[in-house]
Amino acid sequence: MSEQFAEVIVDVPSMQTNQPYTYAIPTEWIGQVFPGMRVIVPFGKRKILGFTTKILSKRPGVSFKIKEIEEVLDLTPVLNTEMLEMASWLAKWTFSFKISCLQVMLPAAMRASYNKTIKLTSTDVSEEVKQLFDEQNEVKFDSKELSADVFKKLSKLSREKKAEVIYQVHDRARTKKVTVIKSLLNTQEVQKQKELLRVNADKLRLLLDFLGKIGSQILTQKDAIKKTGLSAAVFTQGEKKGWLKKEKVEKYRDPYRDAEIKRTKPKQLKAAQQKAVERIDHSIVQQQDKVFLLQGVTGSGKTEVYLYTIACALKNKQTALMLVPEISLTPQMVRRVKSRFGSNVAVLHSGLSEGEKYDEWRRIERNDATVVVGARSAVFAPLENIGIIIMDEEHETSYKQEDMPEYNARDVAIKRGSWHHCPVVLGSATPSLESRARAQKGVYEWLRLDERINGQPLPEVQLIDMRQELKRAPAVDISTPLLDAIKQRLEQKEQVVLMLNRRGYSSFIMCRECGFVLKCPNCDISLTLHMDSHSMKCHYCGHEEPIPRTCPSCQSKKIRYYGTGTEKVEQELQQLLPETKILRMDVDTTRRKGAHAKLLRQFGNKEADILLGTQMIAKGLDFPDVTLVGVLNADTSLSLPNFRSAERTFQLLTQVSGRAGRADKLGQVVIQTFNPKHYAIQLAKKQNYEKFFGIEMNMRHRGGYPPYFFTTQIVTSGPNEADVAKKMFEIDGQLKQVLSSQAVILGPTPKPIMRINNQFYYQLVIKYKKEPELDAFLEDLLLNSQKEARQKLKLKIDRDPIDFI
């Protein structure tokens, strides 16, 4: 082997290309570099990161001097052939740069430049090898500093899985500690100390009162400060006086990791479940890359079907991948999987720190975890020999990534299924129209679970016409029938779930004199009122300012807030039902790590009577004592200017209704709406998916929307509106040359929220059936888009966009 070269996809911001560059492999690394390894290469004056995609043993016929690879970042490939091919496909399919497709497959920890060490993981090595490592069995990994000989040895060890490269992720979460406070005084001592205080020592008196109240309870200093309004300094003073003790304790990290999980046995399947399991298991054993649509009403035991098929794959000595929407990746769901498969399970979700995600990734890579449960990006989990891929709630929009690469995990899952020759199961009570239509055509095999496990009918749904209610009592959020139903359930010691549909909806401030609405200075959107932080915030750019007391426009004092925020409803409810314990679950109360899990645990332990929340409570919850579900405003998702708004509304109402009456008690659902006659609401009331599917397909056919037509959206953005508009019309003109007369272009138009963070957004949408030239045109458009970098114009091409707004 005299010479070797590598094709490298490089990461050059604002000069992206999908063509690889060729670099020479320095002699000392010849035979050690493989496709799927990361390298540092010279590029112009810079040193940049790249992925090797191909190794050549012949010098390419070029006249210029081929530069050498500077550094090798991996001992063995971090992406295998499957993933390298996936990246090429993904780049084309999603009109993305190859480099972003390669990057998205790796955990974030591996994208940063951390220090790396090589750890010896086996004792079955020669003395000579052992001497390379220190007492901790580690050696610093820097390919430039290691001699060729040592590099070769380490590389071999890594291939034999006797050593691995480890990133020293400086993870604050790893060692995160919090200060807690313990009182050292009993009640009498508190009293005594109070008598000794000077008259004007108000703060210390407050502190003593507080210590008297908490008794033996341990609180975090943060909570104590919040509760008392005292500063940390006062607590330090108290500590010096020997009244209290401060201690640093490790903060609770992964809500799932340490929990003792009891193993459970599979349940005896019902006939319909049995049939579904048999069909899927057959495909696993026969290694068929088939797609199944498992359409099962809420509470019909879909999850149990998933668990059985996972067991089948494991028995077949294969691995399993189960995708769930981020929001339903609840401790409840994780526990169900872990209780069946124990430590074989790796969980990937956004609540993990970078380091934790990386740990889970490595467990999968080492084949220590054979079952992966995770949200969207887990679809790239480095599993080998996959036997089954499951996607729960397949209709969920969170499976689509909004940033480049704008992939839909469903497409990637199906692609992986065909690579691994394994079945893919798409499960839902309310499948997306696209999937349901494919099942109709026989592209997917259609499996159905039409009955609830408990044999109970689906809960009775009652619609409340809010137009009538508001005539009686304006400005209430909870109608009399709903309130009565809540009271009755509470009397029976049952639990209630209330949902506030908040999509595109929030509480804002308006002046009753002049109609002034407080808007974000950077975006075309009104600011949202946040009672907990006592401020106005922009949900798009994060701008925050104090709540105005007078109208900034007319100085009137009649400035009030409008809209039904969860906080406002909580207050209203608490006034109506003073004795009731209410838990509120929304973005504000779940921002802190583990908060989501904690709220659910509290509700599950019956520490509260009512769980009030946004969309986040609609999915996956399985609490036996919940017998009433109330929806406060069914319509907000209906009024969005979006062809999917009826579908979204139907899905949401069906999902949330499904939370009621899951055990032996019959459930009840009350939906408040301003559009009681709308078909999405009427059919959600009847929980008739099939009828809804029929009507909605008809609407889509008439409007020329998916699944009858394909759609692709192009968005341009930039700081100068005229430049953005000009570019968009230019693209429109070019498209008209390329497209056939069958295709339709909507736009170009400004986006409904035209300005976000001082960037202007224009869009157009192409609707089409068959356009053989379109993909190539769009790919060129993407690659050429960087020429506009001077005008700071950005381009985004989105195939099968979720929304057009």
Ligand X SMILES: Nc1ncnc2c1ncn2[C@@H]1O[C@H](COP(=O)(O)OP(=O)(O)OP(=O)(O)O)[C@@H](O)[C@H]1O
Residue 177 or 267 with smaller CB distance to ligand X: 267
**Residue 713 binding partner per list Zn ion, ligand X, none, with a CB distance cut-off of 5 to 8 Å that depends on partner kind:** none
Residue 586 C-beta: closest distance to Zn ion, Å? 20
Please check whether residue 415 is in contact with residue 424, taking contact to mean a CB–CB distance below 8 angstroms.
no
Binding-site member from 6, 230, 409, 429 for ligand X (CB under 6 A): 429
Question: Which of the residues 653 through 672 are near ligand X (CB under 6 A)?
Answer: 658, 662
Q: Is 511 annotated as a binding residue?
A: yes
Binding-site member from 77, 212, 255, 301 for ligand X (CB under 6 A): 301
> Reduced to 3 DSSP states, what percent helix, strand and coil does the chain have, rounded to the nearest 5?
35, 25, 40
Cα-to-chain-centroid distance, residue 437 = 26
For residue 341, the SS3 value is helix
Contact flags string 474-513 toward Zn ion, x per CB under 5 A: -------------------------------------x-x
Residue 352 or 538 with smaller CB distance to Zn ion: 538
**Residue 296 binding partner per list ligand X, Zn ion, none, with a CB distance cut-off of 5 to 8 Å that depends on partner kind:** ligand X
438 binds ligand X (CB under 6 A): no
Nearest Cα to 65, choosing from 5, 132, 153, 128? 5
Contacts 24+ apart (CB under 8 A), 553-556: 553/511, 553/514, 553/516, 554/511, 554/513, 554/514, 554/516, 556/511, 556/512, 556/513, 556/514
Binding-site member from 59, 130, 192, 267 for ligand X (CB under 6 A): 267
430 binds ligand X (CB under 6 A): no
Binding-site member from 453, 517, 541, 547 for Zn ion (CB under 5 A): 541
Binding-site member from 90, 297, 523, 724 for Zn ion (CB under 5 A): 523
Residue 55 or 541 with smaller CB distance to Zn ion: 541
Residue 620 C-beta: closest distance to ligand X, Å? 5
Q: Is 520 annotated as a binding residue?
A: yes
Nearest Cα to 602, choosing from 331, 406, 352? 331
298 binds ligand X (CB under 6 A): yes
Nearest Cα to 763, choosing from 751, 774, 755, 772? 751
547: left (phi over 0), alpha (psi -120 to 50) or beta: beta
Binding-site member from 112, 554, 666, 753 for Zn ion (CB under 5 A): 554
269 binds ligand X (CB under 6 A): yes
Window of 77-85, 88-96, 300-308, 505-513 that interacts with ligand X by CB under 6 A: 300-308
Tokens of 794: 């950005």
Q: How many residues bind ligand X (CB under 6 A)?
A: 19
620 binds ligand X (CB under 6 A): yes
Residue 334 or 797 with smaller CB distance to ligand X: 334
751: left (phi over 0), alpha (psi -120 to 50) or beta: beta
**Residue 708 binding partner per list ligand X, Zn ion, none, with a CB distance cut-off of 5 to 8 Å that depends on partner kind:** none
**Residue 301 binding partner per list Zn ion, ligand X, none, with a CB distance cut-off of 5 to 8 Å that depends on partner kind:** ligand X
Residue 251 or 519 with smaller CB distance to Zn ion: 519
Question: Which three-class secondary structure string do you get for 500-546?
Answer: CCCCCCCCEEEECCCCCECECCCCCCECEEECCCCEEECCCCCCEEE
76 binds ligand X (CB under 6 A): no
Binding-site member from 100, 553, 642, 749 for Zn ion (CB under 5 A): 553
Binding-site member from 28, 68, 524, 622 for ligand X (CB under 6 A): 622
**Residue 707 binding partner per list ligand X, Zn ion, none, with a CB distance cut-off of 5 to 8 Å that depends on partner kind:** none
List strands edge to edge, sheet with 626-631.
460-465, 668-673, 626-631, 495-499, 610-613, 582-585
Tokens of 99: 């480099």
Q: Name every residue whose Cβ is closer than 8 Å to that of residue 555 and which is 6 or more positions away in sequence.
A: none
**Residue 14 binding partner per list Zn ion, ligand X, none, with a CB distance cut-off of 5 to 8 Å that depends on partner kind:** none
Question: Which three-class secondary structure string do you get for 82-102?
Answer: HHHHHHHHHHHHCCCCHHHHH
Nearest Cα to 23, choosing from 15, 14, 37? 37
**Residue 221 binding partner per list ligand X, Zn ion, none, with a CB distance cut-off of 5 to 8 Å that depends on partner kind:** none
Nearest Cα to 527, choosing from 517, 542, 543, 538? 538
Binding-site member from 11, 74, 281, 304 for ligand X (CB under 6 A): 304
Residue 572 or 622 with smaller CB distance to ligand X: 622
Task: Report CA-CA distances (Å) from 158 to 80, 109, 119.
Answer: 15, 20, 10
Window of 70-78, 294-302, 339-347, 410-418 that interacts with ligand X by CB under 6 A: 294-302
295 binds ligand X (CB under 6 A): no
**Residue 273 binding partner per list Zn ion, ligand X, none, with a CB distance cut-off of 5 to 8 Å that depends on partner kind:** ligand X
Q: Give Rg (Cα) of the chain.
A: 30
- Cα angle vertex 607, ends 210, 325, to 5°? 115
Binding-site member from 453, 517, 695, 725 for ligand X (CB under 6 A): 453
DSSP string, 646-684: HHHHHHHHHHHHTTSS-SSSPPEEEEEES-TT-HHHHHH
**For residue 678, how many C-alpha atoms fall within 13 Å in the half-sphere facing its CB?**
24
Burial class (CB in 10 A: 0-12, 13-18, 19+), 534: exposed
Residue 275 C-beta: closest distance to ligand X, Å? 12
302 binds ligand X (CB under 6 A): yes
> DSSP state, 644?
T
**Residue 497 binding partner per list Zn ion, ligand X, none, with a CB distance cut-off of 5 to 8 Å that depends on partner kind:** none
**Residue 71 binding partner per list Zn ion, ligand X, none, with a CB distance cut-off of 5 to 8 Å that depends on partner kind:** none
**Residue 507 binding partner per list ligand X, Zn ion, none, with a CB distance cut-off of 5 to 8 Å that depends on partner kind:** none
Binding-site member from 320, 404, 551, 626 for Zn ion (CB under 5 A): 551
Nearest Cα to 338, choosing from 282, 278, 237, 254? 254
Residue 425 or 724 with smaller CB distance to Zn ion: 724
Residue 682 C-beta: closest distance to ligand X, Å? 21
**Residue 303 binding partner per list ligand X, Zn ion, none, with a CB distance cut-off of 5 to 8 Å that depends on partner kind:** ligand X
Question: Which of the residues 782 through 801 are near Zn ion (CB under 5 A)?
Answer: none
Binding-site member from 117, 273, 319, 668 for ligand X (CB under 6 A): 273
Binding-site member from 49, 261, 520, 626 for Zn ion (CB under 5 A): 520
Binding-site member from 94, 303, 672, 712 for ligand X (CB under 6 A): 303
Residue 229 or 515 with smaller CB distance to Zn ion: 515
Cα-to-chain-centroid distance, residue 565 = 23
Question: Which three-class secondary structure string do you get for 215-284?
Answer: CCCCEEHHHHHHHHCCCHHHHHHHHHCCCEEEEEEECCCCCCCCCCCCCCCCCCCCHHHHHHHHHHHHHH
Nearest-10 crossing angle of helices 679-686, 689-703: 160
Give residue 609's identity as a one-letter amino acid code: D
Cα-to-chain-centroid distance, residue 426 = 18
d(CA 273, CA 265): 16
Window of 283-291, 441-449, 536-544, 646-654 that interacts with Zn ion by CB under 5 A: 536-544
Task: Report CA-CA distances (Å) from 539 to 523, 536, 548, 668, 689.
Answer: 10, 10, 18, 34, 33
Q: Is 514 annotated as a binding residue?
A: yes
H or E element in which residue 452 lies: none
Binding-site member from 96, 117, 300, 668 for ligand X (CB under 6 A): 300
296 binds ligand X (CB under 6 A): yes
193 binds ligand X (CB under 6 A): no
User: Interface with ligand X by CB under 6 A: which residues?
Assistant: 267-270, 273, 296, 298-304, 429, 453, 620, 622, 658, 662
Instruction: List, as residue ranges, the binding site for Zn(2+).
Output: 511, 514, 520, 523, 538, 541, 551, 554
Instruction: List, as residue ranges, the binding site.
Output: 511, 514, 520, 523, 538, 541, 551, 554
User: Interface with Zn ion by CB under 5 A: which residues?
Assistant: 511, 513-514, 516, 520, 522-523, 538, 540-541, 543, 551, 553-554, 556
